[in-house]
Amino acid sequence: METKVFSVKGEEIKNITLEDDVFGREVSEGSIYYAINNELANRRVGTASTKTRGEVRGSNAKPWRQKGTGHARSGDKKSPVWVGGGTIFGPKPRDYSYKMPKKMKRLAMKSILSLKVKQEKIKVVEDFTVESGKTRDLTSLLKALVKDESTVLILKDDDKMLRRAGKNIPWLKFLTYNRLSAHTLFYGKNVLILETAVGNLNDFYGTE
């Protein structure tokens, strides 16, 4: 399939080919769901922790004798039924991350790209950079291409000056063609792809 390439001024300048296997395939909703869940799980810190009755500070002494006081029997003040006692079945530090099959992850990325094409939310832009690294210069470039709403810009490489310029733009996210994020890409309202990055995506995801 073919699509338009836009200049930084927002004008159509030529056409470019998008591989059908990457940008025009049938959308696999299941793979997208699992890829997003996998990314969110891998982000979880998993540091929540509570103390059991064996870890709570306090005396092991019995607060009163077993019988004859009129109180319910009690073993020690660290019992979970007491204020300041231990916690029953509370959370402990754990690792929530897990690996996802590579083929399913690749399928998810291609499905999201194909979905964005069907929704007409992808726009290919001629290669550009911001040599000054200033947010003001990047903002003026983006005005002709997108509105001030959630936008993902897919780069051909790790352009440090471009990333620096966009660091203070809250609605702009950067992704490199070989390190896509299912969550970021799926929830981006607009997707801008640099012209060279299109060829990189065709090559990177076009072969199994």
The 172-176 sheet, strands edge to edge: 12-17, 2-6, 122-125, 190-194, 151-155, 172-176
Q: Give the pLDDT score at 117.
A: 94
Q: Give the pLDDT score at 68.
A: 94
Q: Domains in the chain, please, with CATH?
A: 2-26+109-206 (3.40.1370.10)
Q: For residues 111 and 103, what is the distance between their CA atoms, to the nearest angstrom?
A: 12
Dump pLDDT digits (tens) for 143-177: 889 888 899 999 988 889 999 999 999 999 999 99
Tell me phi and psi for residue 143, to 5 degrees.
-60, -35
Cβ-based neighbours of 168, under 8 Å, separated by 6 or more: 135
Q: Give the pLDDT score at 208.
A: 58
Q: Give the pLDDT score at 41.
A: 96
Residue numbers of the chain with a pLDDT score lower than 50: none
Average pLDDT of the residues of the chain: 92
Q: Give the pLDDT score at 73.
A: 92
Q: Give the pLDDT score at 38.
A: 97
- The burial class, CB within 10 Å (0-12 / 13-18 / 19+), for 172 is buried
Q: Give the pLDDT score at 10.
A: 85
